Homo-oligomer: A and B are copies of this chain.
């Protein structure tokens, strides 16, 4: 059997356990290629079936052997060949200093959006969301494992993550396999669209007790989720949305969750935790990158410096017109904030909260995008993905404003909502550059005539949302 690199190997074992199939039976396997061995936990998938999943990250022959406290599941072995990755598959996203890259080394700039509860809306809306995403500029999506109860979110989800029901209560020790199969379907559909699933494991907007489970149930839930989902290359672990609003959990709890997932995940997916107000200490070793809610993108360099990790500002307010402060910035300001964040070396994300008669707002339920920012974000993504190679911050000597540079070969400088008619820049005296004026709102690139070098004045159009791109000749 051949499994392409970064796809999912799955083995199923039938075993009808007389007692509690979740609590009583342990299952894991050692996956070995050459002298490298990786452990992966299995999980109970209902109907008397146990499963093992694994995402091979190296080509060649992999062997596995199971370990279980059930003799029928213990010592089972098998093998598969890991073939080359399929075309256009670059592997999971990993960090590289304060940047992200795909595992194959190719660039990854996260252009994220948020649809917290999109996978809890029923097939019709969920499929509409997927259709929308197909044409949208996003390659990362924040979404919750658990359903959500909040403003504009008063519909009951079609299914629940645990056995039981709202009236009689839930048995948090018994995950509902169908619930997770549905979640996996949605995650794999995102994978097919090239979208990273930034999976929120806990959140405070709860009506079912999932945010206040006993500690032991939290841990069991995390182990189950990792066993099921770690083989999806597009999964990121986001331990919480607004962890600081979840008063029933403490910092040691979050630390423990991080450590558990770090140890259990054979694929080492990205790990972060998102704040409302106070930041978690992103410098802790188990945090791979910062996931930040903050409206001031000019502060990005401080955070990069402080944490030395990639900085994703997942919430810098959303384009929309609701009464909440976090959800009523203009499309221009949404795009502007994303440009500021990216031009300062971070990654700011999109969200959309326009009021709707049916209470279907993109930020939570998905469906359709109605705002003016997405097409500008598509343009922006093309600009950033065309950056040749790696960049470093270029504030200071090249303009007071936000900027990136690649040595002395390339500069991308953004001037946010300012409307200057000229910009004074100082390039190396012995080098020549072509300059493009980029209108981030009108999505236009205008190449200036002639070449520039040394101390020069660049004519600008005297309106907001302009960037300059200087490319060495």
Contact = CB atoms under 8 A, between A and B. Distances in A.
Nearest to A317: B418
Contacts of A355: 421-422
Contact of A421 (B321, B329, B400, B422): B321
Given A321-B462, A462-B321, A329 B424 contact: no
Contact of A419 (B328, B418, B422): B328
Contacts of A462: 321
A213 interface: no
A419 B320 CA distance: 7
A424 B355 CA distance: 14
A420 to B, nearest CB: 4
A323 interface: yes
Contacts of A46: none
Contacts of A321: 419-421, 462
B419 A330 contact: yes
A269 to B, nearest CB: 36
Q: How large is the interface on A (under 10, 10 to 19, 20 to 34, 35 or more residues)?
A: 20 to 34
B330 A421 contact: no
A244 to B, nearest CB: 18
Contacts of A182: none
Nearest to A464: B330
Nearest to A401: B325
Contacts of A328: 418-420
A329 B419 contact: yes
Nearest to A462: B321
A264 B172 CA distance: 79
Interface string A321-360: 1110100111001000000000000000000000100000
A418 B329 contact: yes
Contacts of A417: 329-330, 333
A17 interface: no
A322 B322 CA distance: 36
Contacts of A464: 330
A423 interface: yes
A464 B328 CA distance: 9
A427 to B, nearest CB: 16
Given A330-B464, A464-B330, A325 B418 contact: yes
A320 B463 CA distance: 10
A420 B323 contact: yes
Closest 10 CB pairs of A and B: A328-B420, A321-B421, A328-B418, A321-B462, A325-B400, A323-B420, A321-B419, A323-B422, A355-B421, A323-B424
Given A320-B419, A321-B419, A322-B421, 16 more contacts: A321-B420, A321-B421, A321-B462, A322-B422, A323-B420, A323-B424, A325-B400, A325-B401, A325-B418, A328-B418, A328-B419, A329-B417, A329-B419, A330-B419, A330-B464, A333-B417
29 contacts: A320-B419, A321-B419, A321-B420, A321-B421, A321-B462, A322-B420, A322-B421, A322-B422, A323-B420, A323-B421, A323-B422, A323-B423, A323-B424, A323-B457, A325-B400, A325-B401, A325-B418, A328-B418, A328-B419, A328-B420, A329-B417, A329-B418, A329-B419, A330-B417, A330-B419, A330-B464, A333-B417, A355-B421, A355-B422
